[in-house]
Structure 1
Amino acid sequence: MGRMFRSLDDAEFNRFFTEFRFTAYRLESLQRYDVSYEKAEFDLFLSGQQRGEFPGIAQWIDGTVRPARDSGKLLHRVHVVEEPLSDYVRFECAWAYAHTVPAGEDVRLIPVPSGEWPEGLPRYDYWLFDSSSLITMHYKEDGSFEAAEIVDDPQSIVQANFWRDMAVSQSIPFTAFEEKYDGIF
């Protein structure tokens, strides 16, 4: 078992996002993330407010996405999303991805029918930095963050690289996904 981070604000955890040299990749598997910094904006979205940007996303863009892009680094993610889309995924598309993609994050999605899952991909989240540093993300059943864990087992790191390549090859760019759902975000 590697080092555990109990907070997304942990300085050591966040150093991975500033110190990676080439690539940072995220696999997202949940249909709902319950994080406190999104609550107010998620409630606005649910009440029918127009597409907006919120401080957490602005901070992600200004502190991580643009600096990575400007340094020639690749910051990308694949989110496996079940159809019909959950309210949270619609929110994430409209109020997060719609802003991070133009800023330079490569966001891709794998849409699947509800209850199905892409064969061979795990049902948990992880970050993979420079194809060599693996951090698994642990969430409670309700989508709230529990912990992040550095995994230093070489076989697990190789497996995460394989899953990344598999997920990217099965995914579609956010812009193509957004066109398919025009008007429902």
Structure 2
Amino acid sequence: MAEPVRVREIDSDEGQRLLRIIRRGNGSVVTWRRAQMVLLSAQGVSVAKIAEVTFTSDDRVRDVIHNFNADGFDSLYPKYKGGRPRTFTFAERREIKKIAKSKPAEHGLPFSTWSLAKLADFLVAEGVVDDISHEGLRVLLREEGVSFQRIKTWKTSRDPDYAAKKARVEHLYAIADGEVIPEHGEPKVVFCLDEFGGLFGKFEHTAWRLETRRRYASDETNDRWKRFVDTGEVGEDWADATEVRWFRDTIRAQTAQGKRMERVRIVDHPATLGQRYLLSSAKGNIGFGEDIRNMWRADADRLRLPAEDFWLFDSRLIALLRFDEDDELTHVDLITEPAEVVRCCMIRDAAWHHAVPWKQFMAETRSHA
């Protein structure tokens, strides 16, 4: 049996150099993609998994690894034949302009506006061009009369914290557009909450959720919460409520096509009021197509599962849910970085394997009561 393809051993300085290329995010998109593949291989990720999270073929990943093993960092940079920098053909310029003036959603992409980095990566991934730098793309678009300048409008507010909130939003937009480098602990990609719901109608094969919190403030704003507090049950008709109906119908339509929607919910012992509410509500979710499993927090701690809440769509897109100290959902970070996607896939595999189906979990809970 042939040995699996893997990058040669790299030292600490080489690892840091690869990280700088990936985190800097400017210059050649080809270099950035190749550096990701090499770093993932160095972390022990298989060729097949690298190909999956970088949206390319197994053969392409093997070529990148073989070339790096033979030629080192020189292999990460596009090979030019010398002379004047290449110019793009009329057909290439026309296609670049066409895509730049389109909406990302028209191409099935989960963000609302282009940035230079996003557009350059998409052009290379789709084979429109072999390579293009961010500066080269900027110049080409300027020549073609296409501008990325964003129009911002703000309404007057009486909120005393308005200025600070406005500055925070503008800073997040700057991160999203690649205008500033995020600091430690800040999101690399920012996703508006009003766009989040659209992901559930667009995923291609799987949507998987990890829920680890003891309380979700949004659960406590509807009539079924009040009913549960009063009676201990959410009722049989809760999924017919106006605020739930869209989600119910979307998931029914997706699962009817053979797609999977799955959750693992972490439960304390004893369960909190919010967790008991979700256990009671799960029957309705399962009825319209979800597969829900549960796990005691002690078991999650033993498996070293992180205290994170996220959706993983199609094993390539992470929607990391951010909450404030009052358990309110504040924003969603959209992450496609290969190393993070692989980490979340490993979390999913471990959690799903050890979690218990909802019906079995409820039976065990009642037997221990």
Give distance in 1, aligned partners of 2:356 and 2:249.
25
Give per-residue Cα distances to partners, 1:7-65, cap 9 Å, x unaligned.
3xx1x3222111111000010010110016744321221112643115234432222x2
Please tell me the root mean square deviation across aligned C-alpha atoms, in Å: 2.3
Deviates more, 1:12-21 or 1:166-175: 12-21
Give distance in 1, aligned partners of 2:249 and 2:364.
28
- Say which SS state the counterpart of residue 142 (structure 1) adopts: coil
Residues 29 and 50 from structure 1, CA distance in 2 versus in 1: closer, same or farther, beyond 3 angstroms?
closer
Confirm or deny that 1:109 pairs with 2:327.
Answer: no
Alignment correspondent of 2:150: none
Greater fraction helix:
2
Give per-residue Cα distances to partners, 1:84-135, cap 9 Å, x unaligned.
01111111111x2111112210001111359x72432110101110000111
Contact (CA 8 Å) 2:219, 2:225: kept in 1 or not?
A: no
Greater fraction strand:
1
Deviates more, 1:48-57 or 1:117-126: 48-57
Amino acid at match of 1:32: R
TM-score between the two structures when normalised by the length of structure 1: 0.86
- Say which SS state the counterpart of residue 301 (structure 2) adopts: coil
Larger relative contact order (C-alpha < 8 A, sep ≥ 6)? Answer: 1
Amino acid at match of 2:225: F
Alignment correspondent of 2:316: 132
Alignment correspondent of 1:82: 268
Give distance in 1, aligned partners of 2:356 and 2:219.
29
TM-score between the two structures when normalised by the length of structure 2: 0.45
Q: Residue 99 of structure 1 is aligned with which of 284, 289, 297?
A: 284
Alignment correspondent of 1:62: 249
Deviates more, 1:16-25 or 1:137-146: 137-146
Gaps spanning 5+ residues in structure 1: where?
Answer: none
Give distance in 2, aligned partners of 1:133 and 1:103.
24
Amino acid at match of 2:202: E
Gaps spanning 5+ residues in structure 2: where?
Answer: 1-187
Alignment correspondent of 2:191: 4
Alignment correspondent of 2:111: none
Give distance in 1, aligned partners of 2:279 and 2:232.
14
Alignment correspondent of 1:34: 217
Identity among equivalent pairs (%):
25
Residues 68 and 37 from structure 1, CA distance in 2 versus in 1: closer, same or farther, beyond 3 angstroms?
farther
Contact (CA 8 Å) 1:126, 1:136: kept in 2 or not?
A: yes
Residues 50 and 77 from structure 1, CA distance in 2 versus in 1: closer, same or farther, beyond 3 angstroms?
closer
